[in-house]
């Protein structure tokens, strides 16, 4: 294995026993054809199946493979961060092993990196027709909301699959958040960027580890990591409700002085109480999201724990 290869592939794996064989059968010939030195840094994120055993077996025929084995599951963003920490290449490409990030795109990304003097080459999904309508709609809403409310703009329909120059990777490694949103951290690094389009194929093997609930929480982490707009929104809404309540109070006072005392209805009163109680709980939840992030950051716990490196 070359000590400082030109290219590092970073591959987070969690319960990907069904996919790793197909992935390596496809990517190794492509990397061998690039005529440059490379390594594949595979992070086993506490898999509960035989992913690790399969990786160890693959390493017998692929000496460029390095295996970073976590002590337990720490999550994809922690595994991605570990891969960047262990990668030593002049450029680094994070990708998934389900072959939805097509390895065939790697030669084109490397060529752009070398010929156009850019530091980042993004792989952008140009066609999401294979996704459900609900997934396309929620993805569109997330990107629009994030870019509208955050000072940072992330490119739409771009995942973790990208090529980054060594200096970009070093900048990303200097960010020390414990609650990580990697798309935001990649965008925060900046640098000169190019983009290549592709159509994402269906998953080759295994099942996705993401469901709508996990995607919702991931989106929430992203927005609260790079924007204080939810806090401002609760403040503005509180000011609006207070103003309307004040105007309503003046109207009731004037009406009582002119027409006499009016007996309020129980239903409308309970509706108002429940509504404003819900608003208060939502506001407390928003504040709690930010306080929780502060709480996690102040602990300064390690982002991940490595059991062994092979």
Give the pLDDT confidence of 230-283 residue by residue, as tens digits: 777 777 777 777 777 777 767 766 777 776 665 566 556 666 776 777 777 777
N-term to C-term CA, the chain: 13
DSSP string computed for 161-208 = EEEEEHHHHHHHHT---SS--HHHHHHHH---EEEEEEEPPPP-SS--
Per-residue buried b or exposed e for 142-151, using 16+ beta carbons within 10 Å of the residue's own CB:
bbeebbeebe
What is the CATH topology of the domain spanning 7-226?
A: Spore Coat Polysaccharide Biosynthesis Protein SpsA; Chain A (3.90.550)
Q: What ranges do the domains of the chain cover? A: 7-226, 229-299
pLDDT digits (tens, 9 = 90+) for 89-144: 888 999 888 888 888 888 888 888 888 788 888 888 877 666 667 667 777 777 77
């Amino acid at each position: 294995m070359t000590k400082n290869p030109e290219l590092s592939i970073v591959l987070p794996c969690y319960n990907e026993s069904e996919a790793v064989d197909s992935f390596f059968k496809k990517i190794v010939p492509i990397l061998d054809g690039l005529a440059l030195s490379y390594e594949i840094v595979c992070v086993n994120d506490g898999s509960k199946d035989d992913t690790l055993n399969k990786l160890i077996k693959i390493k017998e025929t692929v000496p460029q493979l390095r295996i970073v084995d976590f002590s337990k599951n720490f999550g994809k963003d922690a595994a991605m961060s570990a891969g960047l920490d262990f990668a030593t290449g002049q450029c680094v490409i994070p990708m998934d092993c389900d072959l939805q990030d097509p390895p065939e795109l790697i030669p084109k990304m490397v060529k752009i990196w070398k010929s156009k003097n850019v530091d980042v080459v993004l792989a952008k999904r140009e066609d999401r027709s294979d996704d459900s309508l609900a997934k396309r709609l929620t993805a569109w809403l997330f990107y629009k909301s994030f870019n509208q409310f955050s000072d940072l703009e992330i490119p739409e329909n771009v995942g973790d699959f990208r090529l980054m120059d060594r200096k970009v990777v070093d900048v990303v490694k200097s960010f020390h958040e414990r609650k990580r949103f990697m798309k935001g951290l990649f965008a925060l690094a900046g640098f000169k960027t190019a983009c290549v389009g592709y159509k994402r194929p269906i998953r080759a093997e295994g099942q996705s580890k993401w469901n709508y609930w996990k995607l919702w929480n991931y989106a929430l982490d992203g927005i609260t990591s790079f924007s204080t707009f939810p806090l401002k929104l609760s403040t503005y809404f509180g000011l609006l409700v207070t103003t309307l309540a004040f105007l309503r109070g003046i109207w009731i006072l004037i009406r009582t002085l002119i027409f006499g005392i009016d007996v309020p209805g129980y239903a409308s009163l309970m509706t108002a109480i429940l509504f404003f109680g819900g608003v208060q709980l939502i506001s407390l939840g928003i504040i709690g999201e930010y306080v929780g992030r502060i709480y996690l950051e102040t602990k300064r716990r390690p982002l991940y724990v490595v059991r062994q490196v092979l």
